[in-house]
Structures are given as C-alpha cells and as structure tokens.
Structure 1
C-alpha cells in the first residue's frame, strides 16, 4: 500500500474513503501523520509508538484505545487500521460506530461482553490510585447491577451497554478534528 512512497495512490485514497468517513484531504493529512509516526518506514506503527501520540498520551485509557486500533493483535497498526479506527472519531461517524468502539475499549478480553474483571481493569486505569481496589470493585458491582438489565447474566452485553449509554454525549466525547 503506497507507504513506501511519500504519496498515496488514487486507488489507495479511494479504498480509505470506502472504509472511513474521511474526505480525500483528511486522508492525506492522516497519511502524513502516519508517516511521521512510522519512524522505521515499515508501513506500520508499533503499538508502543502510538502511546506517544499527544491526544492518546494524556488519556488514562490509551492502552485500551490502542488495543482496539490493533484489531488483529499483532502489536502494530497499519495505515488501513489507523484510518478505520480514527474514522470512529470523525464528526460524520454514526452513533452506533462510536458505541461499538467504546464497548470494545471496555471488553478487555474481547469475548463480546463486559465482565466484572473487564470493567475492573478499565476503571482501575481510569481512577489510578484515587480509589483502592475495594472501592473500584464496589463501583464495578454497582455498574454491572445497573446495566445488566436484559439478561441478568452478571455481564454487560452490547445491547445493555447501548441502553446504559442512551443519554451519553458520545458525539462530542468521541469526536476529534482531523
């Protein structure tokens, strides 16, 4: 995919437009940013290098966000994965896409539900040392009790997550300008 060269080919731009909500100009901007992050010029960014992106570095969930970007778990992110994942943060992304991304951030073991252990890991990352483990566990139990309303199985399904996030302002919380 054109990453060896300094420019994207027209067919590559069209492919990126097909998998994202970005315009051609935005894709070119993302490509320049990607090339800057791809320091060894391999056509991919190591997951650890993504932690250096300023917008991610200050987010306590940066490791989880990057893990969602690295959908295949190879420890690196291709330009295609980069564009597809960032598309979720576009103003033109649908609410369902934003919900799906947020759900994946919380579903640490990627089993399709947010279990008590998944939620504990994410909340612990969010609160750091501000709460002790017992306080975090209490918050986890309360959250699951409130959200697990469809099947009462002790975990939060995507449907339950959507219901719990009904009033959340994801459009602003999960939107960045490219």
Structure 2
C-alpha cells in the first residue's frame, strides 16, 4: 500500500495487535459510506499507508474505539491537507460532500458560521484538534439540549 518496507518489526506486530484488541472479534467493519464523496475522501486518506497505519486507520470504526480516537479520525477527515488545522473552507467542503444538493451553499455557510460562533470561533479561525473538539462538543450539546 505504501512506499514503506512491508517487513513488520515485533513492535509493529504488537501495535497492530493492540489496535485489533479494540475491535470486536479481531476484525473491523467499515460502515456503509453515506456519500460517494466521503468515500473518496477516505480512500485518499489510505493512500501511502503501510499495514500498521492501515490497521490504525480502520480501528477508528470499531465500537471499542475511544471517543478521542474517533474525534482524531474525524479531524483527519476534515483536515484534508494534513497541516494540523481545519479551516472554514475545509469544514464547508465536508459539509458540501455530506449534504449534496439538499441544502444551498448559502444555507451551508450560515449553518457552519452559526455552529462556529456558538463555540466561540469565527469563519477565520484555524482549528487545531482541541479547538475542533470544542466545536463538536458545542454542536452536540446544543443539538441535544434543543430537542
């Protein structure tokens, strides 16, 4: 899969086993992708991974994965250029992929702006992992509190 050597060290094997221990039945099932665009984004994330990295990638889909592992994975989906920061544009692109033609571009921007503002950020904010987590937590708590 990647350009790295395919030889696994004992440490690599133990790390792969650790990832597998977080999965039920030592296998990982990948949920159906809601969107072809998201599926393509996930495939791009796989490009260049060695086996150990591939297992780590799949472990985020496990029901035994921690919330932190899942949030880190989601962050990587949004951080398409891998620079460790998520921009308004990055989030808008994923929202566009998820919503398709169901809502207009203007509606997407309004929703995203509102979500960011609720968490104390603006359209110009560069979100690191902790900032991204704060936005997610704010969105989730506001969503469930308003029900």
- Structures share fold, TM-score greater than 0.5: yes
**TM-score, structure 1 as length reference:** 0.57
- Could you say what secondary structure the match of 1:114 adopts? coil
Matched, 1:160 2:131: yes
Q: Per-residue deviation at 1:165? A: 2.8
Which residue is equivalent to 2:79? 107
Q: Deviations over 1:34-66 (max 9, x none)?
A: xxxxxxxxxxxxxxxxxxx7x34x322222233
After the TM superposition, which parts of structure 1 deviate over 3 Å for at least 4 consecutive aligned residues?
10-15
Among 51, 64, 82, the residue aligned to 2:41: 64
Matched, 1:16 2:20: no
Number of aligned pairs? Answer: 131
Q: Deviations over 1:48-100 (max 9, x none)?
A: xxxxx7x34x32222223333x2xx43xx543232111112223322211111
Uncovered stretches (5+) of structure 2, i.e. residues with no partner: 1-5, 141-147
Uncovered stretches (5+) of structure 1, i.e. residues with no partner: 3-9, 34-52, 169-178
Greater helix content: 2
**TM-score, structure 2 as length reference:** 0.67
CA RMSD, 1 decimal:
3.5
